[in-house]
Amino acid sequence: MSWQARIDAALNERRENHAFRTREPNEQGNGRWLVRGEQRWRNFSSNDYLGLSQHPDVTRAWRQGAERYGVGSGGSGHVTGYHREHARLEAALAQWLGFDRALLFISGFAANQAVISALMQKEDRLLADRLSHASLLEAASHSPARLRRFAHNDAGALRNLLAKPCDGQTLVVTEGVFSMDGDSAPLAQLAQASREAKAWLMVDDAHGIGVLGEGGRGSCFASQVHPELLIVTFGKAFGVSGAAVLCSHSLADYLTQFARHLIYSTSMPPAQAAALHAALRVIQQGDALRSRLAHHITRFRTGAAALPLTLAESATAIQPLIVGDNLRTQALAQRLRERGCWVSAIRPPTVPAGTARLRITLTAAHENDDIDALLEALYDACRE
């Protein structure tokens, strides 16, 4: 089969399965409204859970940082790209979350891949929750270590895998909050099982940091768990982009030597680090924002309980409605857009086959009227 034939076959298969992805440019897509040209919709697809992407303190810090430092870092952090703004942010994150060190990365995807790539060797094994993010599972599959996946959020299944012999070291990988289901990992149980087996625990808390736990410290703090590795990303509640790995002094030194994603990537601009530091301060004082988000979650779940769709067991900002059929999911999303509500239709392979869903995300930027408009649109779309 030629290159072109292979490409055409793969694209045709996606189209036939109603799983073909497209992108369209927005003029505004991270706040309460999604805007394209003359059209706008109430936005229920943004991960900007606290509305910080447009917070005046955050945008001001970025603007002032750009005016002072320029809009780029100029290189890898191992050459000239490591700036005092990066160092200040790393120190603040480590102190806030109770770790020795923090290392900044350009994305959560890069951070997850960097850690697994640098740590794992042929005699080691990775035990990952079956619904872990694609960045984790892809890095694990490319690693020389052996990958085994345990049943979603099942500490017993993890214990069974841990009981089997391993010639090297074991890294247990999970998320704090799962991005497509909105449910939380049983971190205390997973941590205990890992500790008893002398395995390390790595938690990707992309969707928990800033939202859960005292002061927004995230899923691990809320569960009173201190993993060996904590990944926090800045594209959700922080409202910006990038990520950090929280760990011990020695592990930070090791990653600085061997994490290729860190060594060979251009650092984030110092202005971005300044904006993230401002976002951190807002999060630390953001109890009112978290309370507002919790109110919206309760309002939505109360109203959605009677819908003829399966409402996932989620207490977080991610509120999936399971539809099942790909084509019906797309049709429902389109009907919602016709009624002024932008909701994403998520289909396989992003989620397991037969679990296509409307992935609804709520934010502190929403108003009560937005939640009510969404519920009314959902009832109308389902009746049709």
- Residue 241 annotated as binding site: no
- Residue 109 annotated as binding site: yes
- Residue 98 annotated as binding site: no
55 is known as an active-site residue: no
Q: Which residues contact 45 (CB under 8 A, 6 or more apart)?
A: 29, 34, 342, 343, 344, 359, 360, 361
DSSP-assigned beta bridge partners for residue 203: 174, 230
CA 236 to chain centre: 7
> Residue 272: which of 96, 5, 24, 53 has the closest Cα?
53
DSSP-assigned beta bridge partners for residue 324: 356
- Residue 207 annotated as binding site: yes
- In the block, tokens 């189209």 appear at 15
- Residue 133 annotated as binding site: yes
> Residue 200: which of 168, 153, 224, 236 has the closest Cα?
168
Q: Which of 236, 277, 296, 366 is catalytic?
A: 236
Give me the amino acid identity at 212: L
Q: Which of 90, 129, 175, 370 is catalytic?
A: 175
179 is known as an active-site residue: yes
Cβ–Cβ under 8 Å, residues 121 and 265: no
User: Distance between CA atoms of 135 and 151, rounded to whole angstroms?
Assistant: 18
Q: Which of 43, 107, 179, 223 is catalytic?
A: 179
DSSP 239-283: SS--EEEEE-HHHHHHHHHH-HHHHSSBPPPHHHHHHHHHHHHHH
- Residue 55 annotated as binding site: no
Q: Which of 129, 183, 204, 370 is catalytic?
A: 204
Helix or strand or coil: residue 303? helix
- Residue 350 annotated as binding site: yes
204 is known as an active-site residue: yes
Q: Which of 55, 83, 86, 133 is catalytic?
A: 133
DSSP-assigned beta bridge partners for residue 146: 125
181 is known as an active-site residue: no
236 is known as an active-site residue: yes
366 is known as an active-site residue: no
Helix or strand or coil: residue 112? helix
133 is known as an active-site residue: yes
Q: Which of 55, 83, 86, 207 is catalytic?
A: 207
Q: Which of 45, 46, 47, 184 is catalytic?
A: 47
- Residue 256 annotated as binding site: no
- Scanning the chain, the segments in alpha helix (DSSP H) are 3-16, 56-69, 84-97, 108-119, 134-142, 155-162, 187-196, 219-222, 249-258, 260-263, 270-284, 287-304, 326-338, 368-383
CA distances from 119 to 127, 229, 330, 353 (A): 14, 11, 41, 32
**Which segments are annotated as binding site?**
21, 108-109, 133, 179, 207, 233, 350
**Which segments are annotated as binding site for substrate?**
21, 133, 350
Active site (catalytic) residues: 47, 133, 175, 179, 204, 207, 236
**Which segments are annotated as binding site for pyridoxal 5'-phosphate?**
108-109, 179, 207, 233
